[in-house]
Chains A and B, each alone.
Chain A
Amino acid sequence: MSESPTGQVFDLGFSRYEGKREGRRRSTLAVYKDGLRTAMGLGRGGKAKILPWVFVSASMIPALIFALIAGAVDRVAPDFSEELDLPSHADYYAIAGIILFLFAAVVGPELFCPDRSNRTINLYLVRPLRPTNYAAARWASLVTIMTVVAWIPQLILLLGLTLGAPKPGTYLADHWTDIPRFLLAGIVIAVYVSTIASLAATFAKRRAYAAAFLVGLFILTAAVVGSVGAALSDDTTKWIALLSVGDVPLYVNDLIFGEQTSNAEEASPLPGVILVGWFLIVVVAAGALVLRRYRKLTL
């Protein structure tokens, strides 16, 4: 059906594309990059930026306070610093873990739910990547953001402790092993909260449901473990304590730092292999469920 040429304006900009097509790797990378932008509200309106940046700021506040205290105590009352039991890198995730968990509960669903509720997912399904590539890319973008959000406060704390020390050079020489430790512990907690949040987001229809479910899960399992544990012998309690969703990565954190922190202690008597093994089982099982759900998606 040919068109009659009646004073038409031609779109000279549109031409055939002869360049490279980079296939599945480019597709997956694009979904990952878009995940980072979506999570932080970049390229979106102001409203989309509020929550992520509030959480990023909130996660830094405890670190800033610790850093200031650590710095001040040594100067104002050097004698007290030993007695005060200042917060350390090991404690940080036990204290700020809930902020990371909340952040993942808000951002994770943002990465998975709207694509399904808007049915944008169908536009991905018909492109040269598998649905599992899509899910893995979204998960990876969440892990990346959570890792950065977990690391920055630790770096602030390190800065505070180092600059607050009478001899910063000596402090660093004595405590440099904290750096690989908090970097690794940051990855552990980021992977954990991201995977749990991805799982909830995969099955929830709406963002709010997923976020509410995650927060509920965190609080409820902790409460149940607390009350059941109080009624039972220590021997049983340490196993039941593994069910407290929020504490699982903290046990691994304690193993990494080689010291026991206060917030998650019920399961600590268990051997390290069990604690790490349980952490891996939860992460792998949740990840597998996410992939399984996406493998089954079709138009």
Chain B
Amino acid sequence: MDPASTSPTRRTHGDDTYDPPVETLLRADKLTKRYGSVIALDGVSFEIGGTITGLLGPNGAGKSTAIKLFLGLTEPTSGRAEVLGQSPTQDEQIRARLGYMPEHDCLPSAVNAAEFLKHMAEVSGLPPRHARVRAADTLRHVGLFEERYRPIGGYSTGMKQRVKLAQALVHDPVLVLLDEPTAGLDPSGREEMLALVRKTHSQFGISLVMSSHLMGDVERTCERILVLENGRVVQQGETATFTEDYETLYIEVTARRSELMAALAARQIDAREDGAAVVVEDVAGETYDHIRDALVEADAPLRRLAPRRRALTDLFRTDDESEKPA
């Protein structure tokens, strides 16, 4: 993967308005990781704070490498990865404050969820008495309290996914790293998982970083977004501003279209004709008022005025294979 292939002209969203997160939990400072000649991360700098952050990018973008570096499982080639102000490779104890939910299957089948969760809490350093209580509480949180004494091998995919989330939460971490948490789930299972992720943050104040290549999941769940591509940060910012700024407006009139185009042009609004509609890109703020005025001035009979919030899908090039959900 050649980082030079990343267009330097691509817009880094919100650079000028970028507010660093209030409480920085993860910090990457000129972080670089090479595997032989392959550059997985190319001098990236960013901060992740106390919120739900979406780590978005196609496969091979560097998401997993970033997660590994923050978990202290590999040394950076250069630069620095910090967790709560400390280097995770120097002190593995920092991992007691982190949770990690892998994408792939990782659960033993013979044990029941209660026993497994209690064990995992102890492995995170909790004394056995507290571990037992935490295991029950966490299983209740993810909705598996009733089934907790059944062997995990007999669980459905959705239930297993919730056990995976539970083991990442059982030791009450400050921050949880979720790797593709909705992988392999059906639509209702996905919704449940995303709701759980939101609830984990909103009710318990645990911060989460969710790596995903599914734009919809990130858009609906995360408050901030960090887009990685070819080992570089291509965009970052608040989810709301991301989608707002990119709003596209579809205007359909039954007559006097050329007059409308002229009225829009007179107001320096870039519009193009697309089939039956007039399309205006990047609509925000006062532009809405100008479009309304243009419609009035052109006296064009309005049939439909529909905003289309640009999905995060649009952040990636259309030829990008990884846009398709795996």
Contacts and interface: CB of A to CB of B under 8 A. Distances in A.
Interface in B24-83: 52, 64, 68, 71, 73-74
A44 interface: yes
A17 B126 contact: yes
A298 B74 contact: yes
B280 to A, nearest CB: 28
A125 B73 contact: yes
B221 interface: yes
A297 to B, nearest CB: 9
A299 interface: yes
A188 interface: no
B124 interface: yes
A17 B108 contact: no
Contacts of B124: 21, 27, 127-128
Chain A interface mostly? loop
B115 A122 contact: no
A26 B93 contact: no
B76 to A, nearest CB: 14
A2 B195 CA distance: 11
Interface string B195-239: 000110011110000000000000011110000000000000001
Nearest to A123: B106
Interface in A173-202: none
Given A10-B203, A21-B96, A118-B109, A27 B123 contact: yes
Nearest to B240: A1
Given A19-B130, A128-B125, A13 B204 contact: no
Interface residues of A, number: 43
A13 B140 contact: yes
Interface in A2-17: 2-3, 10-11, 13-17
A17 B106 contact: no
A30 B199 CA distance: 30
23 contacts: A2-B202, A13-B136, A14-B141, A14-B203, A14-B204, A15-B137, A17-B171, A17-B172, A20-B126, A20-B127, A20-B130, A21-B126, A24-B125, A26-B126, A27-B122, A27-B123, A44-B111, A118-B109, A127-B123, A127-B124, A127-B125, A128-B93, A128-B94
Interface of A: 1-3, 10-11, 13-17, 19-24, 26-27, 29-31, 33-34, 43-45, 48, 114-115, 118-120, 122-130, 298-299
Given A17-B172, A126-B95, 19 more contacts: A1-B52, A11-B203, A13-B140, A17-B130, A19-B126, A20-B127, A24-B92, A24-B93, A27-B123, A27-B124, A27-B125, A33-B122, A34-B119, A45-B110, A118-B109, A120-B106, A128-B94, A299-B68, A299-B73
